[in-house]
């Protein structure tokens, strides 16, 4: 697909398809119109590694609670984390909140419209900056995500992926060439429409498995289809092997209340509340050996005998975590300042917690509710 008329015809066909077949999503504007850039920022933060169907409800609740960037900047981070529960990858929520504060403090409450300034915001990378600039402001900026990589790889029969610098440059250059070309003489569409059309094609038609080539509006210009290589492209990524770890949850009970504590600012589930949890290497079978000593070291409390209440597995991008829920009554000691606080199970439910910690609470509620 080297000729300019081929590119023009492809763009016209894809944009016409997008105008008719694109999904109605609450953060989108009609083709040819620009949405609120703040809505683009929020939606893109939520959509990272999360399915669209899951995000819709969260986005609507988020925008109802904080309809402007000023509203978000003024709220407490724990409120944002609490609303985010269930979406996972909580660092996105923390970055989004901090980005709002930077926008208010340094940009007068208005999102910057250039990629260079957007990239300086917490949590905003090249993809999100391109999305905000093109979709929210109509700038001719490219963006590359998994859907875009797949579509471009098949259109142009591009080898490799974006796992290395050369591959990343190859796909970003291809995306830039397409978004820089004059869209349509009628000027009904913006660069943001084009970027969304490519992503929509990848999500609905040019899928990783069983792509619907017969329904593709631009199959005529697809090099992979002509070469019979649709199933080969893009080149599969080498997946990182997951690391197995154990999280031993010490569910400490005193007078019908349970000890919870807040995680630090770094690492997995930063800033969220949890039952006291120790991470250690995987063992062949569950064991509470050393857990009482760990509890005393962390909290100053003397725990009684530990009883295993249940276990479950939780998967993250790079980890397979076995959660062991060990229940014990507190028999002595004094809670060290800053080591946590006591609350009922009903009160704990209202705290911002990760999904596995909420699963642990549910298990405790089934066995020990008073």
Q: For 18-52, write each residue's pLDDT tens digit.
A: 999 999 999 999 988 999 999 999 999 999 989 99
- Average pLDDT on 256-280 reads 91
Query: How high is the pLDDT of residue 103?
Result: 98
Query: Within this chain, do residues 185 and 40 fall inside the same structural domain, yes or no?
Result: yes
Query: How high is the pLDDT of residue 369?
Result: 58
Indicate the number of domains in the chain.
2
In tens, the pLDDT along 348-363 reads: 998 999 999 999 999 9
Query: Within this chain, do residues 15 and 118 fall inside the same structural domain, yes or no?
Result: yes
Give a yes or no: residue 67 inside a domain: yes
Query: How high is the pLDDT of residue 367?
Result: 82
Query: How high is the pLDDT of residue 163?
Result: 75
pLDDT band at residue 185 using 50, 70 and 90 as cut-offs: very low
Q: What percent of the chain has pLDDT over 70?
A: 96
pLDDT at 240 over 80: no
Give a yes or no: residue 352 inside a domain: yes
Query: Within this chain, do residues 196 and 331 fall inside the same structural domain, yes or no?
Result: no
pLDDT at 299 over 80: yes
Query: How high is the pLDDT of residue 186?
Result: 46
- Average pLDDT on 275-288 reads 91
pLDDT at 160 over 90: no
- What's the CATH code of the domain at 309? 3.90.79.10
pLDDT averaged over every residue in the chain? 92
pLDDT at 182 over 70: no
- Average pLDDT on 242-252 reads 94
Query: How high is the pLDDT of residue 164?
Result: 78
Give a yes or no: residue 344 inside a domain: yes
Query: Within this chain, do residues 21 and 111 fall inside the same structural domain, yes or no?
Result: yes
In the set 44, 141, 200, 274, the catalytic residue is 44
Query: Within this chain, do residues 177 and 30 fall inside the same structural domain, yes or no?
Result: yes
Query: Within this chain, do residues 64 and 171 fall inside the same structural domain, yes or no?
Result: yes
Query: Within this chain, do residues 100 and 8 fall inside the same structural domain, yes or no?
Result: yes
Query: Within this chain, do residues 7 and 126 fall inside the same structural domain, yes or no?
Result: yes
Give a yes or no: residue 296 inside a domain: yes
Query: How high is the pLDDT of residue 184?
Result: 46
Give a yes or no: residue 231 inside a domain: no
pLDDT band at residue 222 using 50, 70 and 90 as cut-offs: very high
Q: What percent of the chain has pLDDT over 90?
A: 78
The answer to which of 216-225, 280-289, 292-301 has the lowest mean pLDDT is 280-289
The answer to which of 3-12, 86-95, 180-189, 240-249 has the lowest mean pLDDT is 180-189
Tell me the whole-structure pTM to 2 decimals.
Answer: 0.84
- Average pLDDT on 321-337 reads 95
pLDDT at 198 over 90: yes
In tens, the pLDDT along 107-151 reads: 999 999 999 999 999 999 999 999 999 999 999 999 999 999 999
* Separation between Cα atoms, residue 172 and residue 165, nearest integer Å: 11
Query: How high is the pLDDT of residue 180?
Result: 78
Give strand pairing partners of 281.
245
Query: Within this chain, do residues 48 and 116 fall inside the same structural domain, yes or no?
Result: yes
Q: 183 or 350: whose pLDDT is higher?
A: 350
Q: Annotated catalytic, 180? A: no
Query: How high is the pLDDT of residue 203?
Result: 96
Query: Within this chain, do residues 16 and 118 fall inside the same structural domain, yes or no?
Result: yes
Give a yes or no: residue 233 inside a domain: no
Query: Within this chain, do residues 196 and 327 fall inside the same structural domain, yes or no?
Result: no
* Domain housing 344: 243-369
Give a yes or no: residue 214 inside a domain: no
- What's the CATH code of the domain at 38? 1.10.340.30
Query: Within this chain, do residues 70 and 169 fall inside the same structural domain, yes or no?
Result: yes
Query: How high is the pLDDT of residue 265?
Result: 82
Query: How high is the pLDDT of residue 80?
Result: 96
Give a yes or no: residue 176 inside a domain: yes
């Amino acid at each position: 697909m080297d000729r300019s008329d081929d590119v023009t015809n492809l763009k016209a066909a894809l944009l016409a398809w997008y105008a008719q077949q694109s999904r109605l999503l609450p953060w989108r504007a009609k083709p040819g119109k620009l949405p609120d850039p703040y809505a683009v920022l929020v939606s893109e933060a939520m959509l990272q590694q999360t399915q669209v169907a899951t995000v819709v409800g969260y986005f609507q609740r988020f925008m109802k609670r904080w309809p402007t960037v000023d509203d978000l900047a003024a709220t407490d981070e724990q409120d944002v984390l609490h609303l985010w529960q269930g979406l996972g990858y909580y660092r996105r929520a923390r970055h989004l909140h901090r980005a709002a504060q930077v926008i208010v403090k340094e940009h007068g409450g208005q999102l910057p419209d250039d990629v260079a300034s957007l990239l300086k915001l917490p949590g905003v990378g090249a993809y999100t900056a391109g999305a905000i600039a093109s979709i929210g402001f109509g700038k001719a900026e490219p963006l590359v995500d998994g859907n875009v990589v797949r579509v471009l790889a098949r259109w142009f029969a591009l080898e490799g992926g974006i796992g290395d610098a050369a591959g990343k440059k190859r796909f970003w250059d291809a995306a830039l060439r397409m978004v820089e070309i004059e869209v349509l003489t009628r000027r009904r569409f913006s660069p943001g429409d084009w970027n969304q059309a490519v992503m929509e094609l990848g999500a609905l038609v040019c899928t990783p498995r069983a792509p619907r080539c017969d329904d593709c509006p631009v199959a005529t210009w697809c090099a992979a289809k002509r070469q019979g290589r649709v199933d080969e492209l893009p080149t599969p990524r080498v997946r990182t092997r997951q690391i197995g770890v154990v999280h031993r949850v010490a569910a400490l009970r005193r007078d019908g209340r349970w000890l919870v504590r807040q995680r630090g600012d770094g690492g997995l589930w930063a800033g969220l509340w949890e039952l006291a949890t120790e991470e250690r290497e995987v063992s062949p079978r569950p064991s509470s050996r050393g857990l009482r000593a760990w509890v005393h070291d962390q909290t100053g409390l003397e725990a009684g005998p530990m009883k295993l209440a249940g276990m479950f597995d939780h998967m993250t991008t790079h980890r397979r975590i076995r959660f062991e829920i060990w229940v014990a009554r507190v028999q002595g000691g004094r809670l060290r300042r800053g080591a946590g606080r006591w609350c009922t199970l009903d009160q704990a439910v209202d705290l911002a917690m990760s999904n596995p910690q909420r699963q642990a609470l549910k298990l405790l509620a089934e066995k020990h509710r008073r």
